[in-house]
Amino acid sequence: MKKLIFGLIATVMFGLVGNAQDKNFSTFFSSKEFSLLSEKFSIKTSDVDMKNYASLNHESKLYNIYRVLVIKNDSKNFITFFTDDNGKSYGLAYEKIDLVKGISEHFDEYGNLYATFKVVKSETNYNFIINEVFLPSESGNNVNAKAGCIEKIYKRLKSACESDSFCDMMCDLNPTCNAMLASWAAIFCATR
């Protein structure tokens, strides 16, 4: 459990900016998964900031996890993705954020909704508070094979973080903590 909490804290503090484009990063934008996501949400590669992105080494040290900004119609959304098979397939989570309505939604490449978050503006930043978790497997749509795992791991991560005072405090200080927990759950399940 300590390893899980340490990994969670590292993810909460996720923010290393990468500038060097590597093969797996650039290949993502011509992948089947990005094509599905792009078609579902009308995202073009020109909407993605490919020069400034976050990158984190996976605990196995075999691959990186990337987080890119998507700017479309003055909205700022995020795609978190990785490949553990050298670009043959990708796991991803798409965070669609509507600050006017005060809501954030997490989707997979098929458009299945995993979770919604209330977005509350404080004096200095935005806080993401989990609102509802969904079971994509019950939608009747194509789903990622790891959908059930993602739902279960997200709940476990949130509970584990809340039970550790340091992790809970770090999560309170980071406005995108819950959103990153959902992304981390998707990535965790895709790598197991």
**Which of the 8 DSSP states describes residue 106?**
E
Q: What is the pLDDT of residue 74?
A: 83
Q: Report the candidate in 165, 81, 162, 164 with the shortest Cα–Cα distance to residue 129.
A: 162
The CA distances from residue 74 to 69, 77, 127, in Å, are 12, 10, 20
Which residue segment(s) compose the domain that 97 sits in? 2-190
How confident is the prediction along the chain (192 residues), in pLDDT tens digits per residue?
A: 444 444 444 444 443 333 334 788 889 999 988 999 999 999 999 999 988 888 877 666 667 778 899 998 888 899 988 777 777 878 788 989 888 899 989 888 888 887 788 888 888 887 777 777 666 656 666 665 555 676 777 777 777 778 778 777 777 777 667 767 777 776 666 555
pTM of the model: 0.64
In this structure, are residues 40 and 100 in contact, taking their beta carbons and an 8 Å threshold?
A: no
**Which of the 8 DSSP states describes residue 47?**
G
**Structural domains in the chain (count):** 1
Q: How many alpha carbons lie under 13 Å from residue 27 in its C-beta half-sphere?
A: 13
Sorted by sequence, the CB contacts under 8 Å of residue 58 that are 6+ apart come out as 64, 65, 82, 84, 187, 191
Q: What are the tens digits of pLDDT across the range 8-36?
A: 444 444 433 333 347 888 899 999 889 99
